[in-house]
Structure 1
Amino acid sequence: MPLSNAEKVRRYRERQKAKKQEELKQPTPPSDVFRKPFFEFFPPDYQRGSAYVESLELAGMEALLFEDDSGPEKSTLDEIIGDDGQDDAENFFGQYAGSSLGKAEVLIGCMLDSVFDLASEVNNYKKSEIKARISEIEASDLSDPEARRAAFAKVAELNRLLGELDKTIRLTMPQWKVELPPGLVDR
């Protein structure tokens, strides 16, 4: 069955969104514009007192510190193996990976993916638990008018919670990715 125009546009937008998400994990190419290494701009002493480090520590995670100009390929926990069976971390992050700025940009993209996935799992868990409570109420004995009234009120409140979980939120944060014109990219 052929796809409708609306379905084609929806799928196209989904592909574009997925492509944009993957681009968030790619570092900005070296440029004459960004001369000072990021780790010098955001030194480890300042990092340790920043909301970046403190928030991750509060969540029980050790923050990735920018102590030198090494890129994301030096920080991966798993080996990234290429088609030839060799370590492919440098190629995975592109030819422009080896800088502290690149490491920060890849970290932001990966953290956003992580937050989105965890939020989706928590959302799905809460929805399933709320639906289970609604099913329990519907299966219970509601012959008593007072119990029926209380059950209807509780189901209404649980349905309101489901409605809240169907919404999405939008967070605002500073833009960190820029598209450098070819004339500004070091080759």
Structure 2
Amino acid sequence: MAMTEAEKKRLQRQRAEDERRALSDATYPYLKETFSEFLKYEGNYVNVEIALALAGIEAPLIEDERDPHTCALEEVIVDVEDPFPGAKGAIGRAEVMIDCFMDAAIELACVVNSYKRQEIEARLAELESSPETDKAEAMKEAVKLNKLLDRLKKQVRRNFPVWKVTGV
């Protein structure tokens, strides 16, 4: 079956994105001080530690210039040709961490969203099938539950400063 124009364009965009991600960061040649040295006196990394600690996660220490692949779990990157294209040293590790944290947050948000929608839909089904419920009260509750479902269908957008520059 032939692809639609939208599917072709989506595939083209995906290829371009994959090519862009495979490039090294254009800022690397201009970075003289190592990132691990910079972190020794950068006070804001404590905010990363606090944010992760609130979630029960210990923040990774970036005390040396090891590449990202040296810190990844072997079973996750086995048989992957280049799991971290273009990422080098501590700054590459930090860039990979950002991408991974965002991916994990997106996936966790999907799981939580799915759970909540499933539970709310179950409460709606209970309201419909319950003969003992006051109809007026049931209608109010159904309206509220449907509003919750409508809100859960929306997307959230968060702004981030640019942390990786490729394709310049």
The verdict on a shared fold, with TM-score over 0.5 as the criterion, is yes
Q: 1:180 to 1:5 in 2, by over 3 A?
A: closer
1:173 CA drift (Å): 1.5
Structure 2 alignment gaps of length 5 or more: none
Distance 2:6 2:167 in 1: 33
Correspondence for 1:92:
83
1:7 CA drift (Å): 4.7
Question: Does residue 1:5 correspond to 2:1, yes or no?
Answer: no
Q: 1:175 to 1:31 in 2, by over 3 A?
A: closer
The number of aligned residues is 167
Distance 2:145 2:61 in 1: 43
CA contact (8 A) 2:26 2:165 kept: no
Distance 1:40 1:2 in 2: 54
Distance 2:163 2:17 in 1: 18
Structure 1 alignment gaps of length 5 or more: 182-187
1:109-128 aligned at under 5 Å gives the runs 109-128=99-118
Correspondence for 2:166:
179
CA RMSD of aligned residues (A): 3.0
Q: 1:168 to 1:66 in 2, by over 3 A?
A: same
1:92 CA drift (Å): 2.8
Task: Give every structure 1 segment of 4 or more consecutive aligned residues whose post-TM-superposition deviation is greater than 6 Å.
Answer: none
Give the structure-1-normalised TM-score.
0.75
1:67 CA drift (Å): 0.5
1:43 CA drift (Å): 1.8
